Amino acid sequence: MSFINVQNLTKHFPIHGGLFNQKIAAVQAVSDVSLKIEKGETLGVIGESGCGKSTLGKTMIRLLEPTAGDVFFDGVDVTTLPHSGLMPLRRRMQFIFQDPYSSLNPRMTAGQMLSEVIRFHNIVPKADTEKYVEELLDTVQLRKDAKSRYPHEFSGGQRQRLNIARALAVKPEFIIADEPVSALDVSVQAQILNLLMDLREQFGLTMMFISHDLKVVEHFCDRMIVMYLGTVVERIVCDDVYRDAKHPYTQALLKSNPINDPDDRTELHILEGEVPSPRDPPPGCPFVTRCEYVEDRCHTDRPPLKDVGDGHLVACWPVTDPQPAAS
């Protein structure tokens, strides 16, 4: 079995209303998602804002409780564990949040935050805590005197380094990084990405990297899944994405990517149409309202993820099951 094995994971947020505040609908943030991550692999999760990327990551490690489905971590189904059974696994899987400031306690110094994590999980003997804190700060390229500073005294990039240090403090095996560079200046983004790549090699980490930046995912990850409206529409090796992407949504993302050459005046592709509401998604393909290759069956039947070769999965009827051309 794969190191991380997600099977039919679903997360719906209920909407309450009416006289007795009863459930009247649900926001279908994640719908029937299945994926696998091998030991030492980095899986990218790509998609536009609101497609369910962050909810997927938080549900996988039970920061949010799943509505349905199973998540197996190293063979253990974490979705069925009670709180007492889940706590030992918390050391092995960590989360790096998108906003480096709001995820830090403004009333605690960097040293206090790291020490709290270390003592709670009993990582090192109490007498060695301060030394271990200094080692963590050095690992993420922060000075030792940073342990006496509060979050507001750090820059955005330094705060994210502190978040990374906190995640590393418990010596995890699996880290979910939720858009860790999106809130940072462009000049700092490359530094944080390079740091994460070095740490991945140094500690042999397995990672899931969530982003809406296709170029970052292509550079950082081994494979990627593309999400749209809470579902996975394609899974592909990152090196093959520009050559072999087959789903119309993935192709639209590639065409809308900024061009590196300032002299290239090629017009960017604009994806037309409206994203359906996750409260009331279409019964067929979730991309049906914006797809240029739509067929009648796309409105009624949801396409399954099918292998089109070498583990490349696509959920699109015209791609995986093309209809014969009319004579």
What are the residue ranges spanned by the domains of the chain?
Answer: 4-106+150-320
Mean of pLDDT values over 202-220: 92
State the pLDDT at residue 215. Answer: 86
* Distance in angstroms (rounded) separating the CA atoms of residues 89 and 61: 9
State the pLDDT at residue 181. Answer: 87
- Reported as a pLDDT band with limits 50, 70 and 90, residue 327 is very low
- In the chain, % of residues over pLDDT 90: 73
Where is pLDDT greater, at 199 or 255?
Answer: 199
State the pLDDT at residue 182. Answer: 84
Mean of pLDDT values over 250-261: 81
- Reported as a pLDDT band with limits 50, 70 and 90, residue 99 is confident
Q: What's the whole-model pTM score?
A: 0.92
* Distance in angstroms (rounded) separating the CA atoms of residues 113 and 125: 17
pLDDT digits (tens, 9 = 90+) for 115-124: 999 999 999 9
State the pLDDT at residue 268. Answer: 67
State the pLDDT at residue 57. Answer: 96
Burial class (CB in 10 A: 0-12, 13-18, 19+), 83: exposed
- What does the mean pLDDT of the chain come to? 91
Q: Has residue 326 got a pLDDT over 70?
A: no
Burial state string for 238-260 with b = 16 or more CB within 10 A and e = fewer than 16:
beebeebbbbbbbbbbeeeeeee
State the pLDDT at residue 226. Answer: 97
Kindly state which CATH superfamily the domain 4-106+150-320 is placed in: P-loop containing nucleotide triphosphate hydrolases (3.40.50.300)
- Reported as a pLDDT band with limits 50, 70 and 90, residue 270 is confident
pLDDT digits (tens, 9 = 90+) for 2-47: 999 999 999 999 998 887 888 888 999 999 999 999 999 999 999 9
Where is pLDDT greater, at 247 or 259?
Answer: 247
State the pLDDT at residue 325. Answer: 56
State the pLDDT at residue 261. Answer: 67
Strand duo 223-228 + 42-46: pairing:
parallel
